[in-house]
Amino acid sequence: MKTQKLTEQLELFGCIQCGKCTGGCPVARKTTLNIRTLIYHMLVDPSMDVDAHQELWDCTACFTCVERCPKDVEPAELIISLRGELVEGGRVPETLGTALMGIFRQGNPSGMARQDRELWAAGMEESLERAKGLATRARDASSAQEECELLYFVGCIPSYDPRIQPVARALLRTFEGAGLHPGTLGTRESCCGSEVRRMGEAGLFGMLVEENGELLRSVGARQLVTTSPHCFNTFRKEYGLDGMEVLHYTQLVARLIDEGKLTFPEPSEARQEEHRTVTYHDPCFLGKQNQIYDEPRAILEAIPGLKLVEMDRRRERSLCCEGGGGRMWVEGTNLQERLAFQRVQEAAETGADTLAVACPFCLLTLEDAVKVQGLDEQLRVMDIMELVDACGAMPHVER
């Protein structure tokens, strides 16, 4: 591969080789990935053998390097572009290829049938139908019925993964409880493409942006809320959804609590969730990449009886769980030292009995790690939404 064009495109000439990127890279400490030296090669070598850099697939797209670079270089974008070179030549790890194919054919990385996308709402069919109706009616402007103010984008993992489906249900239940009537797209919803872009499949991502963008705009909602920080991040920064406020659910729920539209009952013996000691893990796509640190904590602190303790590495220093950037579908080069293992140990050391997360990927990777590390007796991984739901969040007055 010729380096010149990409070097100019990504403005790598601004790099002073200080190493703040590699120094902060969570996977550099355990694999051969060194983003600074990759940039250096780009700067001084006219050509690069991209195939020799299989460690490119180790990057989790946590964007710590981008956040910390003092010269506004975006190191992770180089990795994405180099992955693009590999994708272009069809040289991708097989499991990644399968995920991309699933998204292309069925709109989700697991390759599950598109018509099964709304199975997450099992047991809440009435709510689902109503939500779908809202989003559809709003689409044909002829009917001057209820407008769809808020659109709930469920996302692939919450739609299909049985471990995450309850999070989506909890969300819908909580919103309805607070008097909100979100619309959803049902089986018309497709993958947001966040990880597609980060795996280097720019073409497919462009297609998804176009199709999803058109669909989302056609609903005419004022707000778009997502389960996953990954969907949230791409909609917010990479879709150009002008006039639509893109929110992660933690922002919306914190707002509802703040406005008194969502309150929690006094603690009761029956609900043991309320007596938990919780530590919170900041997801990279919510925290580092979007500076949403306070809202998730505000939600946890609003739950009576629940005690929040902090890990040393929190907020800007949160440790990546290794679930982003396509890493849900490719193992990477060092399986022994998973960051998630380290992370759950850190959580356990706080004395907390619950590790709260706000991201489907984090939930899956950390829960796995808890099992592998033999911490399941001691530590339970829960999404914030599950805690909110379990603690009986309710609207202020009625019901």
Partner 1 sequence: MEQEPRIGVYVCHCGVNIAAAVDVEHVARAAAELPGVVVARDNTYMCSDPGQALIKQDIREHGLNRVVVASCSPRMHERTFRAAAQQEGVNPYQVEMANIREQCSWVHRDKSRATEKAGLLIASAVAKAARLEPLEQREVDVTPGVVIIGGGIAGMTVALDVADTGLPAYLVEREESLGGRVAELNRTFPSLQPVSDLLQPLIARVQDHPNVTVFLTSCVSQVDGYIGNFEVEISGYGETGTPAGGDPASKSGTPRAGLSVGSIIVATGYDVFDPQRTPELGYRDYPNVITSLEMEERLIQGDLTVDGRRPERVAFVKCVGSRDARLGNPHCSRVCCMYTAKQARLVREMLPEAEVTVFYIDVRAFSKGGEEFYDETRSQGVRYRRANVSEIYRKRSAPGVDAGLAPRAGAAPVLLVAEDTLLGQPIEFEADLVVLAVGMEPRKNAGVIQKLLKLPRSADGFFLEAHPKLRPVDTAMDGIFLAGCCQGPKDIPDTVAQAKAAASSALIPLIRGSVPVESASAVVNGELCAGCAMCADVCPYDAAALDDLWGTSRINPVLCKGCGACAVTCPSSAIHLQHFTAEQVLAQVDALVE
* Chain contacts with partner 1 (rule: CB under 8 A): 16-25, 28-29, 34, 36-37, 64, 67-72, 309, 312-313, 315-317, 346, 349-351
Nearer to partner 1, 11 or 331 (CB): 11
The residue (of 319 and 362) whose beta carbon lies closer to partner 1 is 319
In order of 18, 69, 219, 224, 234, the CA distances from 36 in angstroms are 8, 11, 44, 37, 25
Nearer to partner 1, 163 or 313 (CB): 313
Angle between helices 75-88 and 35-44 (to 10 degrees): 70
Least distance in angstroms from the C-beta of 193 to partner 1? 27
Q: How far is the CB of 316 from partner 1 (least distance, A)?
A: 4
Min CB(74)–partner 1 separation in Å: 11
Say how far apart CA 171 and CA 202 lie, in whole Å.
31
| Least Å from the CB of residue 168 to partner 1 | 32
Query: Cβ of residue 116: shortest distance to partner 1, in angstroms?
Result: 42
Question: Hey, which bits of the chain come out as E strands?
Answer: 150-153, 223-226, 245-248, 277-280, 307-309, 354-357, 380-383
What's the min distance (Å) between Cβ of 313 and partner 1?
Answer: 5
Report, in Å, the least distance between residue 48 CB and partner 1: 17
Answer positive or negative: Cα dihedral of 122, 146, 247, 219.
Answer: positive
Nearer to partner 1, 66 or 390 (CB): 66
CA 390 to chain centre: 22
CA dist 372 and 291 (Å) reads: 31
Nearest CA among 99, 171, 141, 86 for reference residue 360: 171
Residue 255 or 307: the one with the smaller Cβ distance to partner 1 is 307
Nearer to partner 1, 36 or 132 (CB): 36
Q: Which is nearer to partner 1, 24 or 166 (CB)?
A: 24
Distance (Å) of CA 189 to CA 35, 117, 135, 152, 176: 35, 8, 11, 10, 20
Q: What is the distance between the alpha carbons of residues 63 and 66, in angstroms, rounded to a whole number?
A: 5
**∠ CA(146), CA(295), CA(264), 5° rounding?**
70
Phi, psi of 248 (to 5 degrees): -85, 150
Q: Is 125 exposed, middle or buried (0-12, 13-18, 19+ CB in 10 A)?
A: exposed
User: How distant, in Å, are the alpha carbons of 28, 116, 177 from that of 55?
Assistant: 10, 35, 47
Instruction: Tell me whether residue 16 or residue 43 sits nearer to partner 1 (CB atom).
Output: 16
In angstroms, how far is CA 357 from the centroid of its own chain? 11
Whichever of 97 and 305 has its CB closer to partner 1, that residue is 305
Q: In whole angstroms, how close is the CB of 65 to partner 1 at the nearest point?
A: 9
> Do 256 and 284 contact (CB within 8 A), yes or no?
no
Q: 147 or 346, CB closer to partner 1?
A: 346
**Residue 155 beta carbon to partner 1: minimum distance, rounded to whole angstroms:** 29
Vertex 372 angle, CA 367 and 373, to 5°: 95
Smallest gap from residue 38 Cβ to partner 1 (A):
11
